Structure 1
């Protein structure tokens, strides 16, 4: 029997499924059974899209019962994303604008998830009037759709992966045409993919034909077997690791840039060769023992030191350990195999001929990638001769101690804190001589020498380099003595200063001689300037004489004449004062003074001498230089000496450029340059300038530059000479500036 439905009458139901005269026929019953038990979901709708009848299959698909579906509107079951399109299609279908149709839509399950469904929509009943019904057949294709989506997602992931990997990836069909390439391939080939897709690889890269790459591609394609090779591509200067994978559609190729790896391999090989060369050619003996203490490798120095041939001991335990040292050596080996490095130690070893030698050994563990000690490296040095020399040295030290104790020079040894460890007996000449054990040897000095000496001592300790200084010490015989001291650091094994050896010598007489020499040089300069000064004084004297005669003859007093005469007398007085100041010996007294007025005075003094020699002094003061700590007269003597030499170097006249400014190369220093246009000095003679009695002038003594350099050194400055024959000479003086 046909079953009754709440939303459709019996008559309508019977008519729909083929009943005759309201009696169900076998065909009607069969049609109804097909609707109810169809494996496809079945829905019967009226034209208002209300559900009149549903079968078990659609109920399972949607997770609802027939009672829940009965009377519901079809749009309430459709996913919101497909609702608009589905309603548009149903409207067209009901209006007769489209025939029965099929579509894929999403329905919503009672649990909330999406059900992908393939629907077939057709019309039942009359084509017009109220007897029309809509039959919807729904096939659940959720699993298929999910599989498709999963496949699409997988393909997308693969595509994304191929685009993001740095390796190049290309696909070729069997006609050798590009069908795909990733960004890595674009970068490797250095062309856009749209320029490559569909193009034959050998047309684009003819240089690759008949190469290893060409052969590998063809073999892989023809034999349907993967191929792997490493290939160097000269146009890009790169190495690539290439993998070819054939398929029935063509060839897939991966390129991995291994240029860095190749370079590292080359560097590793080079390092190994260097290491082998270093081991083989090392002056020290080197031997490597395995975990059973057998020789793996040894250099020629090892065989020579112990007197064996390589074939005698290679692969065996070395026979170089004296019996009495076996236990001690085994203990050292155990420490090394535990990962400890043994610093250089002095011991004794046995040669093949039975003689014992003194050696210095360093034992180091060799560790593999698993951080396990697999072997031992022993570096040895024969110190037999050194030990012999050490004994000789101790004997020499005793002899040198006797010399130090009997020399007139002051010899002392102090630790880094200034404590006296040794002082020679010659220190008795000092009013308060330091004795061994004194806490501070600098206490006997007065300021400013004390501060200067402490700084000098600290510089020696910190720089670990020798330094020299001149100091004034109290003396028993005189008020004071000037000593020249040289400090030499004594370094320990760690490279740090452990003590300072100071050797001092009384140079008081030498200083007096230098002062006399300096005074003599002043007088010499004054004498040489006499002609120019006489000329300079004669001009104003002539003017004075003329005005006096004129006033006597005219017997008229004129004030303007007196002003001119006073001016000329002041000029004479200034020249004579400068000359007397240069020649007069004065006590050295350092003061902070500006440098420009000193240079201006010197230029003014030498101007007449320069004019006689047709030489122009080009001096332009800058006005912004910091002052220096100096003895004014001594610096004037240096500047006069340099300018006088420059004038004499230009017998045909010329120009001397004088400049003074803060040094750009050495901050904190003032730089003065004197540049002439004279005959110059050959390069091989420049190094001898400043030596006493060495001069390039026919009647010179060579003492002028020596005195000048001494003065600059006393001002803690430096003097440099640069010259080229026929191009002139440049003298550069650097002096410490006093910060303003």
Structure 2
């Protein structure tokens, strides 16, 4: 029976399959040849390179044409003969070379370490027709190996010469190795110590600790640290700081434990001495009246002495240093001194006013000192502040007393001599007044100026001798409202508005006429300082210390900084018709009432005057 005819025979199908496989194989080979990162070169039987891949050109820098003209251009001169012999063996004897380490040269002259694999190329009859060569860059691996060898040598040198005791144990604490420093630290020779176990010379109280740490290392496979006492050859107990380090094998179990032991006896003695010294200084810091603050380099508060409770109300233990409680006018001065402290790293001292939690203000003298680390770096600052308010008040009081004494002597000496001629002049002018007819205008001017002289003399006498005052209980708010009513018409004429804030009506003890004179002088000065439309704010605020603050603020022309220190000096005035005695007399009156007067002002920003008076009841 004849076989049925088909378009394709089995033989043809097999030929087609082989052809397809060959196409696929060729494509794979071509893709590998062109896109692998390893360099590939093909040479013929004469040793001439007839083909290189793109990686070869990119890596070595030589083009195919250059390699074809000079097949040994990428081989160092001293390796050309060796390379020819290797490839001669590949071409003539069919030798396969695998991972042969050698050196190659780039076009820029750079020498690189490579591994070389060479195989013969045969045709379909099995005849060798050339050789292929694949090279891979191992420069980084070589560098790593060399670095590893150098590191191992360094560590070996370090272990052999370190003062710390380096010992290696197996998992049962059997000693395998101990560094030569054992003799210096404990008096044992390494061979003597090797015969001992870790527990033989350990303090009995510390043996359970060592066993627990051993088990912890075996369980966690993590380094740890602890302290233990070890007995030296002479029988003395020495404290060591010990760091246990596990050596984990490929299976993930701890094979060995390395203990690095450092003698900390000197540190222990230093710590004991330091604790004793710190205790002394702590006692001083905890009981001093000075305010001691320690900050780090970033300004964060590390320590505040208990004395800060007096000005802060509580003992702050953290937070960054701020200037919020420093008087506004003094903040630039504090900042300037702190910048100088940072720049020069030298102690700096400055004085500034500080607002306490109870509303009062004190004057602090602060000295800032940098804290240096052993390396010379600035780690932080110590600021020691002392309340010098009383000292400053006494100094101011002494100066003012001397001025008042001088003025009093002057006033007492000249008041009588001035008033007698004044009386005569005033009497004769009044006597002549009816006869002057159309010249009476000049007489009026003379009488007005005589009254002005008499007023100045009267003010001088206020300073020259004690006044008969009648102290009685007064409503402070009523007193202020009365003064404002007296000045309301003058303020309205200049389009100036009064704003008041009296949340409470405290009772004070004082002499009504004198206190009215003070507030009249101050508010009248505010009115005169305002050009055109303006505002004057009058308010009261109670303090926790049975005191009240009367605050008078205007938006007038203000007072320049160069004039501020001279305020209150006798006969100093910036007004055309001023006597220069008003503020001095006002300050004396407030002082006689056991109060205080404070002025703050900036040019073109207005003036604020704060008068503090004691209260009898709220």
Give the greater-gyration-radius structure (CA). 1
Which protein has greater RCO, CA pairs closer than 8 Å, 6+ apart? 2
